[in-house]
Structures are given as C-alpha cells and as structure tokens.
Amino acid sequence: MARLRVGVLISGRGSNLQALIDAAAAADFPAEIVLTISNRPDAQGLERAAKAGIATQVIEHGRFASREAFDAALDQALRAGRVELVCNAGFMRILSAGFVEAWRDRLINIHPSLLPAFPGLHTHERALQAGVRLHGCTVHFVRSKVDEGPIIVQAAVPVLAGDDAEKLAGRVLAAEHRAYPLALALIAAGRVRVEGERVVTEGAVPATGMLLNPKAEC
C-alpha cells in the first residue's frame, strides 16, 4: 500500500521531526516524510531533514506582507510536494483560518501539555505553578482556535518533587517523541476518524496501563 505523504512544518530544534523521521525509517511504517518547511532559515531541524534525504524549504514569514500571503506560500509548497498530511512540529506561527480550513483533518499539531489544560506558551512553568501531579503532551487536529481541536493521542508523565521547568520539559519531550509517531501511524493506517469534533480510533491500541502519581505504596 502507498505510504501517506507527510509534510512537516518546523521553526527550530526539530526533535519531534527527528522522531517522525526515525519512525518512518521502518519499512512497515505507513507514512513517509516527503517535505520539511521552516519559517526560519536557521532552524536546526532543516539539517536533520537534509541528513535524512528529505526535501527542505525555507519560507520566511517576514518576507510576506500578511499572514494570509505567507500561508498561501505554505499551501502552494505543500501542494507542489503532493503532501497529504501536514504535521506541525514546533512550528511557531499561528495559521490563518483559511489555511486551517483548507487542510481540515489533514493538519495536526503536538502541544506540550495535556489539553485542554495549559494551551499557549510556557506550559511547563504553568503546570509547576498550578501544582498538577500529571503533565504531558497532546497530538490533535488543528482548528482555527490555537491549541484546540480533536485529540488523537495524549501521553502523561508525572510531575516529581524537585522538578524545575527544564527537567519537566525533558520528561514531556521524551513522551512527545513517542506520542507523535503513534498518532501519525494511526492516521496513516486509516484508523482515525473525526466524529463531532472527537476522534474515534479503530482497532486496538496497546494499553500501557494507568499512571498514578504519587505512587500508591505509601
């Protein structure tokens, strides 16, 4: 079966892009990364993509007169690359309603919190501030409201005594690198559908058990 053609939008480090590249290197992975686009020329993720032999493009938002014009250039590049699904991976631009609608249910994002908690920036600092015991990440379909949209996969990690934002971010990032390839694989295998703004997943997804924090044996 043909593999789903994926375009990844990045702005920086690209560790989630790397997780997707690594997952897609397996012969039986149902998706392939065919294009990486960055809005910043210095994004480290561009090197990761090039190293993996993936086409890269830089589309600098500052060169466009409006958000819509930038998004139109993105759209054109994705279509030219025959991209079927777009993955935002640390892409730090808000997409216009027109773009989001054009790619409805074919555009996903990873966010470093258990949505709907902590949309927006500085999620790890805010999780620590709120005193939550569990934190994590969410892969979701993109809608025009930022960090909203049907949830495909979530991964939870404990918040531990002595955590600072950096330690917590590292634990969440490791979870992101597992959650994003899983979400992509489920979509590419045709096992995800959106019903009334909720995701229904076909077939069994391996149960990883309950995460309880603090531990019960105390």
Query: Could you list the residues that contact ligand GRF (CB under 6 A)?
Result: 12-16, 89-90, 110-112, 137, 173, 176
Burial (Cβ within 10 Å: 0-12, 13-18, ≥19) of residue 42? exposed
| Least distance between ligand GRF and beta carbon 94 (Å) | 12
Between 52 and 72, whose beta carbon lies closer to ligand GRF? 52
Between 72 and 174, whose beta carbon lies closer to ligand GRF? 174
In 91-133, where do the E strands start and end? 107-111
Between 146 and 160, whose beta carbon lies closer to ligand GRF? 146
State the catalytic residue, choosing from 111, 124, 140, 177. Answer: 111
In whole angstroms, give the CA distance from residue 40 to residue 61. 8
> Which residue reads 């969410």 in tokens?
138
Asked if residue 182 lies in contact with residue 208, where contact means CB atoms within 8 angstroms, the answer is no
| Least distance between ligand GRF and beta carbon 102 (Å) | 21
Between 99 and 212, whose beta carbon lies closer to ligand GRF? 99
| Least distance between ligand GRF and beta carbon 5 (Å) | 20
Q: Which long-range contacts (CB under 8 A, 24 or more apart) does 120-127 make?
A: 120/146, 120/147, 122/165, 124/165, 124/166, 124/168, 124/169, 124/172, 125/165, 127/159, 127/168
Burial (Cβ within 10 Å: 0-12, 13-18, ≥19) of residue 14? buried
Residue nearest to ligand GRF (CB): 90
In sequence order, what are the beta bridge partners of 193? Answer: 200
| Least distance between ligand GRF and beta carbon 17 (Å) | 6
135 annotated active-site: no
Active site residues: 111
